[in-house]
């Protein structure tokens, strides 16, 4: 029986190919890319088909969620396959010894295109190592997160511009904007987009030397070079960089010597036509403690900001994450999470993870609204503690030079109505109060609050300066 399966190696590989495409339709592209694409075909003997999984974590996930299905489909296609076994074997090992010599003569190694997961496993540091200066460059770049890809990035109204800009930079051979400057509040996807650009470029052209690092790391490396009087070597490291990404440059604020060095590196790379991508928590002009000439240099390419999420995007992200994890997330639970946790995506993901962990590990019970509320009780309470509606009213009123009384009054003049709507919007975003609860604080009903939230969401998209004002308010309130 075993011979039947192995002698005709093409058929086993073909079958695996067919199984993969079937699974892709069944589980969706994102889940497929995360969990199933990294699998490679191993050896076959005694009716057992071995499938290689790069890590232990992935193995346990695949075994729990997909092994039965894979076994069933395969058994149907080829009765010689009695069982499917998953073994942990990293791609590094695999590149030389996926199959025993005998197997290898029977089956060609399944050749696959590089995916972030595969590249990750094949030693991310090597990916960025420059052959000449590998000792230095090895530690210059920080590993990329294999989950931070364009495929895993959910696009909505609030981030579509930044997404389009990132894609453009990743896809074009010629430099279109230099630098690309991405900015937003925390947890809204800047780092995700930068990694996605890096993965994309690497996939298109593995020879390009991409360096991704945080501004803090840049600073640390530079200060160390100063200490060891080795700044020439430090500079040298950047010479061969094709794409330089520096995350969170606001951390360079007030660090004058680092800025100067960065300015130098920046200019010489731009002059040589290398791509630079920068992120920060504010627009170039608003960065604090950054020299004027550097600010203007940072802003001279394309500046793209990511706005705070809206409800639709939060729903999209929750559903996409749930799909990726192969979880059934009831609509009501998703709505609850999307409504309550609006501050940033990292927290939204954290909440979802907590709910899933609770349902799977502790009790293996179904995810319900009650259970979600219960599991997140502390988290929601701490959100409430963070900001109160009173505080929001006070800060927003101050900002627009009106009194809190006016804000709560029935006056409809725009000078009062707009700040009121903004305060309602922020109350919805920053607290876990319900619409009626917020309404009561403004002496209005919940439909007015709902209308205000929608209105402000629209305004944010239309009016960049208002969006910045609101974002600044949010930051002060969250501080
Ligand atoms: P920032 O760098 O702006 O602080 P991150 O890029 O670290 O934010 O994003 C925080 C988390 O939210 C990450 O886990 C990221 O994958 C996720 N995330 C952000 N934006 C999106 C999006 N549009 N779709 C899916 N996940 C997202
Ligand atoms: Mg970040």
Q: Domain residues for 447?
A: 389-478
Together in a domain, 47 and 76: yes
User: Has residue 127 been placed in a domain?
Assistant: no
Radius of gyration over every alpha carbon of the chain, rounded to an integer in angstroms: 26
Together in a domain, 355 and 413: no
Can you say whether the dihedral through the CA atoms of 390, 391, 397, 400 is positive or negative?
Answer: negative
Round to whole Å and give the CA distance between 358 and 456: 35
Together in a domain, 399 and 355: no
pLDDT in tens, 127-144: 333 333 333 344 578 889
Q: What are phi and psi of 381, to 5 degrees?
A: -65, -40
Share of the chain above pLDDT 70, in %: 85
Q: Using the mean position of ligand 2's atoms as its centre, give its distance from the Cα of residue 214 in Å.
A: 9
Together in a domain, 195 and 242: yes
For residue 97, the domain's CATH number is 3.30.300.180
Counting from 1 in the atom list of ligand 1, the atom nearest the Cα of 184 is: 3
341 Cβ below 6 A of ligand 1: no
Q: Using the mean position of ligand 2's atoms as its centre, give its distance from the Cα of residue 160 in Å.
A: 18
Q: Using the mean position of ligand 2's atoms as its centre, give its distance from the Cα of residue 280 in Å.
A: 8
User: Has residue 136 been placed in a domain?
Assistant: no
User: Has residue 137 been placed in a domain?
Assistant: no
What is the SS3 assignment for 209? coil
245 Cβ below 6 A of ligand 1: no
Round to whole Å and give the CA distance between 48 and 70: 13
Q: What is the pLDDT of residue 106?
A: 31
Q: Using the mean position of ligand 2's atoms as its centre, give its distance from the Cα of residue 248 in Å.
A: 7
Together in a domain, 322 and 433: no
Together in a domain, 259 and 291: yes
| DSSP letter, residue 35 | I
Q: Tell me what the mean pLDDT of segment 457-478 comes to.
A: 87
Q: What is the pLDDT of residue 100?
A: 29
188 Cβ below 6 A of ligand 1: yes
49, 83, 111 - which closes a domain? 111
pLDDT in tens, 63-81: 877 888 888 888 888 888 8
Say what the pTM is. 0.61
359 Cβ below 6 A of ligand 1: no
User: Has residue 406 been placed in a domain?
Assistant: yes
pLDDT in tens, 150-163: 999 999 999 999 99
For residue 408, the domain's CATH number is 1.10.1750.10
User: Has residue 351 been placed in a domain?
Assistant: yes
Together in a domain, 198 and 286: yes
Neighbours of ion ligand 2 (CB under 5 A): 190-191
Together in a domain, 229 and 242: yes
Together in a domain, 179 and 289: yes
Q: Using the mean position of ligand 1's atoms as its centre, give its distance from the Cα of residue 186 in Å.
A: 9
Cα distance between the two ends of the chain: 67
384, 412, 445 - which closes a domain? 384
The residue contributing the CA closest to ligand 1 atom 20 is 189
Round to whole Å and give the CA distance between 18 and 16: 5
Pick the residue with more confidence: 133 or 303? 303
What is the SS3 assignment for 308? coil
For residue 300, the domain's CATH number is 3.40.50.300
Q: Tell me what the mean pLDDT of segment 221-238 comes to.
A: 85
User: Has residue 143 been placed in a domain?
Assistant: no
384, 404, 431 - which closes a domain? 384
Considering only 56-65, 90-99, 196-205, 353-362, which range has the smallest mean pLDDT?
90-99
Confidence of residue 90 (pLDDT cuts 50, 70, 90): low
Q: Using the mean position of ligand 2's atoms as its centre, give its distance from the Cα of residue 213 in Å.
A: 11
User: Has residue 123 been placed in a domain?
Assistant: no
pLDDT greater than 60 at residue 1: no
Q: Using the mean position of ligand 2's atoms as its centre, give its distance from the Cα of residue 192 in Å.
A: 7
Together in a domain, 212 and 237: yes
Nearest to 50 by CA among 87, 92, 7: 87
For residue 347, the domain's CATH number is 1.10.8.60
Together in a domain, 322 and 215: no
User: Has residue 335 been placed in a domain?
Assistant: yes
Considering only 92-101, 184-193, 284-293, 347-356, which range has the smallest mean pLDDT?
92-101
Q: Which of 160, 167, 188 to mutate to test the pocket of ligand 1 (most atoms within 8 A of CB)?
A: 188
Q: How many domains does the chain have?
A: 4
Considering only 75-89, 287-301, 401-415, 446-460, which range has the smallest mean pLDDT?
75-89
Together in a domain, 404 and 455: yes
Confidence of residue 23 (pLDDT cuts 50, 70, 90): confident
Q: How is the beta sheet containing 83-88 ordered, strand by strand?
A: 40-45, 48-53, 83-88
Q: Which of 196, 305, 345, 351 to mutate to test the pocket of ligand 1 (most atoms within 8 A of CB)?
A: 345
């Amino acid at each position: 029986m075993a011979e039947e399966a192995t002698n005709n190696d093409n058929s086993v590989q073909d079958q695996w190919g067919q199984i993969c495409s079937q699974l892709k339709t069944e589980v969706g592209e994102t889940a497929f890319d995360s969990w199933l694409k990294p699998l490679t075909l191993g050896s076959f003997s005694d009716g057992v088909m071995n499938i290689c999984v790069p890590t232990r974590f992935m193995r346990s996930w695949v075994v729990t969620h997909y092994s039965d299905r894979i076994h069933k489909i395969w058994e149907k296609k080829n009765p010689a396959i009695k069982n499917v076994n998953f073994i942990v074997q990293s791609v590094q090992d695999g590149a030389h010894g996926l199959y025993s010599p005998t197997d290898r003569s029977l089956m060609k190694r399944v050749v696959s295109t590089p995916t972030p997961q595969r590249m990750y496993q094949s030693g991310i540091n090597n990916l960025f190592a420059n052959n000449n200066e590998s000792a230095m460059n090895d530690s210059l770049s920080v590993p990329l997160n294999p989950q931070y890809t364009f495929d895993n990035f959910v696009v909505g109204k609030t981030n579509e511009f930044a997404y389009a800009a990132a894609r453009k930079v990743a896809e074009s051979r010629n430099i279109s904007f230099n630098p690309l400057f991405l900015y937003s509040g925390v947890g809204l996807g800047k780092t995700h987009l930068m990694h996605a650009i890096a993965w994309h470029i690497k996939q298109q052209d593995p020879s390009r030397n991409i360096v991704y690092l945080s501004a803090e790391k840049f600073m640390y490396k530079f200060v160390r070079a100063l200490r060891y009087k080795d700044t020439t070597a430090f500079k040298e490291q950047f010479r061969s960089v094709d794409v330089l990404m520096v995350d969170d440059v606001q951390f360079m604020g007030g660090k004058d010597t680092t800025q100067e060095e960065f300015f130098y590196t920046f200019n010489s790379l731009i002059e040589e036509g290398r791509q630079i991508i920068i992120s920060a928590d504010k627009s170039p002009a608003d960065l604090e403690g950054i020299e004027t000439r550097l600010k203007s240099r940072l802003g001279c390419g394309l500046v793209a900001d990511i706005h705070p999420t809206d409800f639709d995007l939060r729903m999209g992200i929750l559903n996409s994450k749930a799909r990726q994890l192969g979880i059934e997330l009831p609509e009501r639970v998703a709505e609850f999470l999307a409504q309550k946790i609006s501050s940033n995506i990292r927290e939204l993901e954290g909440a979802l993870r907590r709910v899933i962990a609770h349902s799977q590990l502790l009790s293996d019970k179904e995810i319900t609204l009650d259970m979600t509320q219960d599991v997140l009780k502390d988290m929601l309470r701490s959100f409430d503690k963070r900001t109160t509606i009173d505080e929001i009213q006070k800060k927003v009123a101050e900002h627009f030079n009106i009194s809190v009384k006016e804000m709560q009054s029935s006056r409809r003049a725009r000078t009062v109505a707009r700040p009121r709507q903004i305060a309602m919007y922020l109350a919805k975003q920053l607290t876990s109060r319900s619409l009626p609860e917020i309404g009561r604080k403004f002496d209005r009903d919940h439909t007015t609050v709902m209308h205000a939230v929608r209105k402000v969401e629209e305004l944010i998209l239309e009016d960049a300066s208002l969006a910045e004002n609101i974002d600044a308010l949010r930051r002060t309130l969250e501080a």
